[in-house]
Structure 1
């Protein structure tokens, strides 16, 4: 059958093209891709080309399909999996495979499996590893965003605390503690706030910092302090650039206690060092941000590490259990991955948006594979709606949902473009 996809041939060489998709084998599954959100990791892949550790060396003649944050419908199931999967079921996918030591991963390594495609073939190893997941939510985009949400969830679960009685580690952020999310008004930070409000180790307080008043204003609209208050959690947004001594202000907000859990969401040395200084007794700092410099370093206080049990760790990615939790909570409306999304577009927008991702402001760029549409900021809907009825409808729908992308807006797009 014919499929259309964004394929990578080399460094910054992404092409949207039509090609022949082979018949599936008895241990494969054919899927129709509905949504795919663009990850900074895909930009890094495009920038490195075949130098990337997951990219095959023959992409110049056998290109791979990019995109790994995708969701859609199962179309055809090979005989091996017919008892487990059925045509018509929605799916989400965990792309972080580890099949017999191989680094191969959907969106990085496969000729016929990636999210930036109208249809693709899921290889047997995905099912064998339990990484093709059924999804029952009201929209596809929430399942696409399950992968970045799983990274956030993994961070919350990986943090730990100790005690002086034994060597047991209490896993997860501290119950009734203070959480500090530094650089937290970007897409991943807002996802971390959304999850923190429903995590079983309910915190007393979540403090979110940024240096952009514009980003803080959007964060307050996406997740208002009142929403947290309804759950018995104090949520405070702080513009650290507004204070001569932001460290003192943050310590004051914690009532002098410090922070039991600190998440650093920007790879900036002064921020990481401040986070270390703000740790409470037995506080855990998770350096979540991924630096591009493999020699990135920051100073930490080893006196506190020894005498006050502070500790530092880092997490990257989430496991399959984290992804299952992400899509389950999203389907139940316990978390709202929409706080990450600032732009939407069609399959024709993927290549250019990926190659210029660092230059495009805002959060997640969500793309739909079954139609063409320019990459458009949600904040541009109002102006475009003055001359285009589609954007007028989308603008009204988004404004009715605190400025967030939502299931109804997705349905409006599908109806407009005749997507079944």
Structure 2
């Protein structure tokens, strides 16, 4: 059958094309992709082309389908998997495969497997690893955002703390501790706040920093301090650009103790070094943001590593358990992946949005692959709605939901464009 897909041929060479998919083999599954959110990692892939560690060297002749944060419906199941999967089932998928040591991953490495398409073929290794998961949620976009949420959850689970009695490690963020998310008013940071205010070993305080008042105000709108307080967590948004001495000012919030868990959400040397200076005794700093420069460095206080049990580490991606947790929490309404989304578009918007991702303000760019639609900011729905009934409907739905995208808004798009689910 034919598919429409955004494929990468080389550095900054993305093309939306229609082509024929081969017949599936007995150990493969054909799926219809419904939603695909755009990740900064895909921008980094497009910038590096063949130099990217996950990209094959023959992409100029065998281009790969981009996109790895996707969800949809199973269309056809190969004989090997017919007892486990059925046509019509909704699916979510974990792209971090690590199959037999290979770095191959959907959206980076496969000719017929990726998210920026109408249909694709899921290869056998995905099912063998348990990375194709039945999904029961009301919306497809929350399953797409399950992947970035799983990365966030993996970060929380990856932090650790020690004690002076033995060599046992306490995995996860410190209960009743102080968390700071540096550069945390972007989409991933807001996902981290949404998760952090409801976790079982929840902290007593989460401080979120940024240097942009507009981003801070949006963060405050979608995750108000009062919402965190309902769960017993003090939530503070801080503009460090307005502080005479950010390190001193941020430490003062904790009474001078420092932070038990520090998350660095932007790949900025000064911010990373500040994170190191903010650590409490036995504090753990997670350098979460992935830099494009493989020589990215910063000065770390190794005296504190030795004498005050400071831990410096990093996490990337999530595992199957993290994705299952993300989808379960979203389905129960305990986390809101929608806080990450600021723009919505169709498949025709993916290539341009990916290539210009750092230049487009706001958070996550969510796309639906079964129709064409310009990438549109949710905050622009009202103005567009003055002359377009579709955007008028979308604006009304989003405004009653704190400006957030929702399953109801998604359904409006599907009905408008006649998309069968």
Structure 2 partner of 1:36: 36
Is 2:185 the counterpart of 1:181?
no
Identify the range of structure 1 (100-109 vs 180-189) with the bigger mean alpha-carbon deviation.
100-109
Structure 2 partner of 1:218: 218
Q: Is the 8 A contact 1:65 1:108 kept in 2?
A: yes
SS of 1:401's partner is coil
Q: Is the 8 A contact 2:154 2:319 kept in 1?
A: yes
Deviation digits for residues 222-254 of structure 1 (CA, Å, limit 9, x no counterpart) = 100000000011000011111212222211211
Identify the range of structure 1 (27-36 vs 249-258) with the bigger mean alpha-carbon deviation.
249-258
Identify the range of structure 1 (139-148 vs 255-264) with the bigger mean alpha-carbon deviation.
255-264
Structure 2 partner of 1:94: 94
Q: Is the 8 A contact 1:137 1:332 kept in 2?
A: no
Structure 2 partner of 1:23: 23
Tell me how far 1:8 sits from its aligned partner. Answer: 1.4
Q: Is the 8 A contact 1:37 1:144 kept in 2?
A: yes
Tell me how far 1:269 sits from its aligned partner. Answer: 1.7
Q: Is the 8 A contact 2:54 2:109 kept in 1?
A: yes
Structure 1 partner of 2:205: 205
SS of 2:249's partner is helix
Identify the range of structure 1 (17-26 vs 370-379) with the bigger mean alpha-carbon deviation.
17-26
Distance in 1 separating the partners of 2:265 and 2:340: 14
SS of 1:100's partner is helix
Is 2:79 the counterpart of 1:79?
yes
Tell me how far 1:106 sits from its aligned partner. Answer: 0.9
Q: How many residues align?
A: 420
Note the residue ranges of structure 2 that are not aligned, 5 or more in a row. Answer: none
Distance in 1 separating the partners of 2:291 and 2:13: 24
1:16-415 correspondence to structure 2 within 5 Å: 16-415=16-415
SS of 1:7's partner is strand
Tell me how far 1:382 sits from its aligned partner. Answer: 0.9
Distance in 2 separating the partners of 1:11 and 1:276: 35
Tell me how far 1:404 sits from its aligned partner. Answer: 0.8
Tell me how far 1:303 sits from its aligned partner. Answer: 2.2
SS of 1:257's partner is coil
Distance in 1 separating the partners of 2:286 and 2:339: 22
SS of 1:345's partner is strand
TM-score with structure 1 length normalisation? 0.98
TM-score with structure 2 length normalisation? 0.98
Tell me how far 1:300 sits from its aligned partner. Answer: 1.9
Distance in 2 separating the partners of 1:356 and 1:256: 41
Q: Is the 8 A contact 1:304 1:310 kept in 2?
A: yes
Q: Is the 8 A contact 2:44 2:292 kept in 1?
A: no
Q: Is the 8 A contact 2:381 2:392 kept in 1?
A: yes
Distance in 2 separating the partners of 1:269 and 1:2: 46
Deviation digits for residues 242-268 of structure 1 (CA, Å, limit 9, x no counterpart) = 121222221121122211101011112
SS of 1:303's partner is helix
